[in-house]
């Protein structure tokens, strides 16, 4: 269905960020205009990101500075999703946390007690100051019975210098050492997607997920039972997306050719 305009009314939209709304520090103009239309038509939308390092309010400010309408409560990160996941599973949980401010703050706000010795959970997110001692403490805790949680499985992160190790690469050190696979929170897994559905208050079949990366965004929507809209402004090309065994519901060059019904 590549290049077709929308022929269905969706009650809500889930929107990826990097590669869909902006590229690094550069906004994608067509995307900003698209989100403004959603706001004008009062169609609920939620930004979802595998980035665990930023706070939702930081993401909201970044988008606002790019001319994209966004409030803090319209941002769901893997950090906030991970914190919600463990607090919904256990009362007053304790956790050993590897990550940056976004994850540390989300865990703290959720009332999770940070603890290195005998924690209930080990949670790992992207940490650009990772050390052997942090990984060793995590491995010891997992071997001791702590439930192992990882914000996302992204193996590599794009940068100006090329692809750098992502959180999935850091997570693999713990899983290889302990023989324990983590519960992954972010796209394309279902944990964060279910939370997103609950926030939007619509059924999966009434939601359209918009993203550029087939292996995270589009696959997440497919697994969650949503229609998917692939935009050719980021990681996966339209040709690559169309060649997948389950292609996206729609594929467009950019959001400028997508009509909101």
Chain centre to alpha carbon of residue 41? 25
- DSSP notation for 141-190: HHHTTPEEEES----EEEETTEEEE-HHHHHHHHHHHH--PPEE-STTSH
Active site residue 18: yes
Is the CB of residue 96 less than 8 Å from the CB of residue 121? yes
The Cβ-side half-sphere exposure at 200, using a 13 Å CA radius, reads 29
For residue 158, the cross-strand partners are 163
The residue from 16, 120, 127, 217 that is catalytic is 16
Please tell me the distance from the alpha carbon of residue 206 to that of residue 11, in angstroms, as a whole number.
6
For the beta carbon of residue 254, count every other beta carbon within 10 angstroms.
15
Conformation bin of residue 121: beta by default, left when phi > 0, alpha when psi is -120 to 50: beta
The residue from 18, 120, 154, 227 that is catalytic is 18
Residue for token pair 């972010």: 186
Please tell me the distance from the alpha carbon of residue 45 to that of residue 249, in angstroms, as a whole number.
19
Tell me which residue of 179, 173, 185, 78 sits closest to 131, measured CA to CA: 173
Tell me which residue of 122, 125, 168, 171 sits closest to 143, measured CA to CA: 122
What single-letter DSSP state applies at residue 112? P
Q: Which residues are catalytic?
A: 16, 18
């Amino acid at each position: 269905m590549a290049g077709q305009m929308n022929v269905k009314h969706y009650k809500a939209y889930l929107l990826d960020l990097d590669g869909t709304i902006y590229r690094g520090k550069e906004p994608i103009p067509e995307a900003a205009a698209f989100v403004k239309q959603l706001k004008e038509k009062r169609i609920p939308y939620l930004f979802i990101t595998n980035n665990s390092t930023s706070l939702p309010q930081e993401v909201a400010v970044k988008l606002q500075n790019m001319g994209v309408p966004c409030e803090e409560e319209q941002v769901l990160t893997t950090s906030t999703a991970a914190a919600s996941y463990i607090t919904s599973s256990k009362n007053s949980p304790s956790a050993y946390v590897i990550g940056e401010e976004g994850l540390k703050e989300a865990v703290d706000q959720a009332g999770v007690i940070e603890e290195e010795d005998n924690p209930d959970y080990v949670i790992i997110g992207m940490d650009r100051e990772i050390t052997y001692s942090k990984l060793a403490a995590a491995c010891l805790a997992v071997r001791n019975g702590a439930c192992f949680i990882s914000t996302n499985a992204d193996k590599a992160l794009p940068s100006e210098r090329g692809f750098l190790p992502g959180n999935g690469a850091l997570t693999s050190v713990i899983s290889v050492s302990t023989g324990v696979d983590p519960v992954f929170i972010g796209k394309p897994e279902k944990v964060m997607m279910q939370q997103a559905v609950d926030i939007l208050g619509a059924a999966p079949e009434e939601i359209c997920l918009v993203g550029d990366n087939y292996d995270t965004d589009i696959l997440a929507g497919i697994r969650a039972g949503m229609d998917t809209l692939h935009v050719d402004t980021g990681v996966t090309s339209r040709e690559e997306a169309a060649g997948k065994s389950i292609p996206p519901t729609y594929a467009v060059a950019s959001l400028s050719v997508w009509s909101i019904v």
